[in-house]
């Protein structure tokens, strides 16, 4: 019996296998992004838009929100007023906010965005991708991290967070010693 579908069947099998492997790779990457293992904040430097130099460990003994975003990300732009409101709500209690623009975001766009919206918190551009790498290879925007007073990441949101739950968590962390 002659198999006339040999090459076509083989191509289909390889295509299906390739799609399966691609799906596993994406799922594995997302699983890493969603991990909440209370990993320590890396001691990395960052430069704010005003040129001042800081380190992530400057946030020790404070609860902090670190938001990886991009001006080209519609969800990031949509959620930014809520990030501002969160900052304003908790800042008097020692809460810090850092908005980290992704490596691919043009600095002029970031500067214009921050100025036109009068962002009241620290804004940095991750020029080298070091900050994104330091937090488990952040690739998706928005990614929002909540850091406790001990400098541990206690929550990671990929996509827009549930701000009611986020506020409850921040309030809880601020009341802890």
Domain ranges of the chain: 1-34, 37-175
In this structure, the strands spanning 53-55 and 45-47 are: antiparallel
**Omega before 142 within 30 of 0, i.e. cis:** yes
- At residue 20, the pLDDT reads 41
User: Which of 19-23, 86-90, 153-157, 171-175 is least confident?
Assistant: 19-23
Give the total residue count for the chain. Answer: 177
Question: What pLDDT, in 10s, does the model give residues 153-170?
Answer: 999 999 999 999 999 999
Mean pLDDT of 58-72: 96
Question: What pLDDT, in 10s, does the model give residues 79-109?
Answer: 999 999 999 999 999 999 999 999 999 999 9
What CA–CA distance (Å, rounded) separates 166 from 154?
11
Model confidence, pTM: 0.78
Task: Find out if CATH 3.30.70.580 is the number for domain 37-175.
Answer: no
- At residue 4, the pLDDT reads 52
Whether residue 25 has pLDDT greater than 50? no
């Amino acid at each position: 019996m002659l198999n006339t579908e040999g090459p076509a069947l083989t191509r289909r099998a390889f295509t299906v296998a390739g799609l399966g492997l691609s799906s596993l790779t994406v799922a594995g990457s997302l699983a890493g992004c969603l991990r909440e293992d209370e990993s320590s904040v890396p001691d990395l430097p960052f430069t704010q838009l005003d040129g001042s130099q800081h380190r992530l460990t400057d946030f020790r003994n404070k609860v902090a929100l670190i938001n990886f975003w991009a001006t080209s990300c519609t969800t990031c732009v949509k959620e930014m007023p809520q990030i501002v409101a969160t900052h304003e709500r908790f800042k008097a209690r020692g809460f810090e906010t850092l908005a980290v623009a992704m490596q691919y975001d043009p600095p002029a766009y970031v500067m214009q965005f921050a100025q036109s919206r009068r962002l009241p918190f620290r804004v940095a551009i991750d020029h080298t991708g070091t900050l994104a790498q330091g937090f488990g290879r952040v690739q998706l925007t928005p990614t929002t991290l909540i850091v406790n007073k001990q400098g541990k990441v206690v929550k990671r949101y990929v996509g827009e967070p549930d701000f009611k739950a986020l506020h409850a968590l921040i309030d809880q962390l601020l009341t802890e010693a």
